[in-house]
Structure 1
C-alpha cells in the first residue's frame, strides 16, 4: 500500500499543469511556490512495541522566495479548499489544496510589516490579515485586491477573527487593552471593548452572539448585539485560566493548573456556573470540547489526557501519552483526536475506541510544534512548528496503511 499511495501522490503533484479555466478563476496562479510532496514516517500498530514503520506522503508548504523563513500564521477556508499562510514577512501566500498550486500572493498595496494573524471569511473567499504595521486588511483572494483597511489600532496586531456568521471582524493588538468590532462589509468600527489591563486572548461563540475575552485570571463575556457585559468568570485561585467555547456556543469550559487543578463549565448565555469538576491529577494547559459538546478533554501534567461528560462531570476515557501534550485538536466530525506530546511524534487516536491509530513524524525531535488543526474535511491535519515548513497529513492514508 505504501507504493500505491506514493504513486498516487506522484501522479497528482509531479505532473501539475495550469489550464485556461484555472487562469480564468485565479489570474495569479503559478507553478512556482507550489506545495511539494515529500516522504514522512508513520508508526502504525496495536501497541508501541508492535508498531511498524511506514513511509507516508505529506505536503509541505514554504515561501519559495526565502525557504529559511518560518510560518508565523495560517488559516484555511471554510470549505477546506484553500490554505493561506505568511512566513516572517508581509506577503500572504494562498494555495489550492487539491493540487498544491499557489493561486495568489497577496502583497500589492498590502502590509508594510510582518503579518501576524489570518482569518478566512466563513461565507466566501475573502481573508482578513493582521500585521505588525498596526493595521488589518480585508482581501479579495481571487484578484488580490485590498477591499478594506482597518486602521486606528494602538499597536502591532496580535489577533484578527471573523465572527462565524461572517458579518463582523474582531481585532486585538499586542499589549492592547482593547478589542475592536468592525463591520466586515463596510469597514466601519462598530464598537471598541475597553479593559483596565491587557487582554491575552479573545474568541467569538459559534452563534456569533457572544465575545469572550481573557483578562488576567478571569474571562469576561459580552453580548455582541448590545455590547453589554454579561458575566466575569473566575475560579477561587488567582491563576491564569485556560478555556474553550463549545462548538454550539452555549457553554464555556475553564481550567486552572493549580495543585489541585479545577475544571468549571459555565453558561455562555448568562455566565451561570453549571458544573465543577475536581480532577485527581494536576492539569496541564489544554482544554477542548468534543465537536458535539457532549464531552470535554483536558491534558494532565503526568503525560495523560482525560475526557469527561460535559453535563455530569463523569470521566469517560484516559489517553496515556509519552509526554505532556502542548497541542490538541479534534477533527470536526469528532472521529479523530490528535495530540502533540512535547518533542515527540504527533499521535492520532480514534475517539470511539480511544485506540491509537498512528504516530506521525513532524520533523526533528527537538522541533516544537506550535499549532495543529484539522481542516473542515476532517481528514487533513495541518501542523505548524518553530522550524521547517507547514505540513499537511491525510488521515485516509493512515487508515489505508493499517
Structure 2
C-alpha cells in the first residue's frame, strides 16, 4: 500500500500542467518555486506499540529563487485552495494547494520591510499583509496589483478580515487597533489598546472582534465599536484561547486552569476542574461539544464536555502537548508535543491512529478545510502539506 500511495502523489505532480484556463485566472502561474515532493515516515497501526513505519510523501513550500530566504508567516484561504507565505527577503508567494503550483509572487512590489502577518478575504479575492514598514497592504492575488495601503505608526503585527469581507482589523506595535473599510481603505475606528496585541479575531457572524493582550481578551462590538467586556484571564507565554466554530463561546487556558466564557458578553460560564494543572493549547471540537487542553504533568492532552466540564478522553503523548488541530469534520485530532512528535487520534474512540515524523521544530499545525490535508509550520524550515487521508488509508 505504501508504494501505491507514494506513486499516486508522484503521478499527481507528473500530471501538473498549466492550462489556458489556469493562465486566464492566474496570469503569473508558474512551475518555478512550485511545491516539491519530499519523503517522510509515518507510523501506523492498531496501537502505538504495534505501529509500523511507512513512507509518506508531502509537499514542501519554499522560494527556489532565493533558497537562503527564511519562511516567516502564512495564511490559508477559507476554501483551502490557496496558501500565502511571507519570507525574510520581503516577498510573498502564493501557491495552489491542489497541485502545488505557484500562482503569484509579490516580490518587493510594495513593502519595504518584512511581512509579519497575512490574511485572505473570505472569497479569496484579496490578501492583506502587515509589515515592519508600518503599513498593511491589500493585494489582488490574481493580478498582483496593490488595492489599498493602510498606515500605522509602527510595525503592523496582526491583520484579520471580517467573515463578511467588508472590514479589516489591524494591530500595530504602537499599541493601536484600527478597523478599516475593506473596499475604500477608510479607517472607520481606532482604539488605543495600551498593550501589545498578540492576536486578532472576528466572531463567525462578524458582529464582534477579539483582541488578546497581556491582561486578557477584549471583546468589542463591531456595530458600535465599543468594548463589551474583557475576559479577566491573564494571558502569559503559556496561555491560549480560541472561539467555538458556532461563535457562542471562548475557551482559555491560562495559569493552570481552563475556563469557558460567553463570546457575546464575556461572562465566565465554566471553570473546569482537573487534578493537574492545565495549559495551552486550548481548542474546541468543531461541533463545540468538547474542549481540549494540555496536561503537562502527565504528558497528556485531555478533553472535557464543554457544558458540564466532565472529563471525556485522555490522549497519551511522549512529551507535553504544544499544538492541537481538529479536522473540520471532527473525525480526527492531531496533537504535537514539545519533542516534535505529531500523533493523530480518533476523536470518537480516543484510539491512536498514526505518528508522523517531522524532525522537530514545529511552530503550528492546521487542517485544510477538506479535512484530508494537514499543514505543518516550522520554526526554521519551510511548511509542509501532508495528506492525512492517505495515512488513514494506510491503516
State the TM-score bracket (shorter-chain normalisation): over 0.9
Q: TM-score, normalised by structure 1?
A: 0.94
- Which residues in structure 2 correspond to 1:114-125 (within 5 Å)? 114-125=114-125
- Tell whether 2:361 aligns with 1:362: no
Which secondary structure state, in structure 2, belongs to the residue aligned with residue 38 of structure 1?
Answer: strand
- Tell whether 2:221 aligns with 1:226: no
- Tell whether 2:155 aligns with 1:160: no
Tell me, in whole angstroms, the C-alpha distance in 1 between the residues paired with 2:381 and 2:282: 27
Tell me, in whole angstroms, the C-alpha distance in 2 between the residues paired with 1:197 and 1:25: 42
Tell me, in whole angstroms, the C-alpha distance in 2 between the residues paired with 1:55 and 1:247: 34
Which secondary structure state, in structure 1, belongs to the residue aligned with residue 71 of structure 2?
Answer: coil
Further displaced range: 268-277 or 185-194: 268-277
Match of 1:294 among 289, 293, 297: 289
Q: CA deviation at 1:274?
A: 1.4
Residue number in structure 2 paired with 1:56: 56
| Residues 113, 132 of structure 1: 8 Å contact kept | yes
Q: TM-score, normalised by structure 2?
A: 0.95
Which secondary structure state, in structure 1, belongs to the residue aligned with residue 47 of structure 2?
Answer: coil
| Residues 42, 53 of structure 2: 8 Å contact kept | yes
Q: CA deviation at 1:70?
A: 2.6
Further displaced range: 242-251 or 390-399: 242-251
Tell me, in whole angstroms, the C-alpha distance in 2 between the residues paired with 1:370 and 1:347: 15
Residue number in structure 2 paired with 1:305: 301
Q: CA deviation at 1:208?
A: 1.1
Instruction: Please provide the CA RMSD for this pair.
Output: 1.7
Residue number in structure 2 paired with 1:337: 333
Tell me, in whole angstroms, the C-alpha distance in 2 between the residues paired with 1:217 and 1:25: 45
Further displaced range: 40-49 or 105-114: 105-114
Q: CA deviation at 1:282?
A: 1.2
Tell me, in whole angstroms, the C-alpha distance in 2 between the residues paired with 1:332 and 1:49: 28
Q: Aligned pairs, how many?
A: 393
- Which residues in structure 2 correspond to 1:81-160 (within 5 Å)? 81-107=81-107, 109-151=109-151, 153-160=152-159
Residue number in structure 1 paired with 2:313: 317
| Residues 159, 200 of structure 2: 8 Å contact kept | no
Tell me, in whole angstroms, the C-alpha distance in 1 between the residues paired with 2:310 and 2:274: 10
Tell me, in whole angstroms, the C-alpha distance in 2 between the residues paired with 1:333 and 1:168: 28
Tell me, in whole angstroms, the C-alpha distance in 2 between the residues paired with 1:340 and 1:69: 26
- Which residues in structure 2 correspond to 1:229-248 (within 5 Å)? 229-235=227-233, 241-248=239-246
| Residues 70, 386 of structure 1: 8 Å contact kept | no
Residue number in structure 2 paired with 1:385: 378
- Tell whether 2:238 aligns with 1:267: no
| Residues 77, 125 of structure 1: 8 Å contact kept | no
Q: CA deviation at 1:30?
A: 0.9
Tell me, in whole angstroms, the C-alpha distance in 1 between the residues paired with 2:288 and 2:336: 22
Instruction: Quickly say closer, same or farther: Cα 1:5–1:239, change in 2 above 3 A.
Output: closer
Tell me, in whole angstroms, the C-alpha distance in 1 between the residues paired with 2:198 and 2:382: 27
Deviation track 1:11-40 (CA, whole Å, cap 9, x = no partner) reads 111343222222121110111111111111
Match of 1:376 among 356, 369, 378: 369
- Tell whether 2:198 aligns with 1:200: yes
Residue number in structure 2 paired with 1:33: 33
Instruction: Quickly say closer, same or farther: Cα 1:135–1:321, change in 2 above 3 A.
Output: same
Instruction: Quickly say closer, same or farther: Cα 1:48–1:73, change in 2 above 3 A.
Output: same
Which secondary structure state, in structure 1, belongs to the residue aligned with residue 3 of structure 2?
Answer: helix
Further displaced range: 315-324 or 117-126: 117-126
Further displaced range: 10-19 or 282-291: 10-19
Which secondary structure state, in structure 2, belongs to the residue aligned with residue 6 of structure 1?
Answer: helix
Deviation track 1:75-122 (CA, whole Å, cap 9, x = no partner) reads 111211111111222111111112111111013632111111111111
Deviation track 1:259-307 (CA, whole Å, cap 9, x = no partner) reads xx22221112222221121221112221011111111111111211111
Instruction: Quickly say closer, same or farther: Cα 1:80–1:201, change in 2 above 3 A.
Output: closer
Further displaced range: 116-125 or 9-18: 9-18
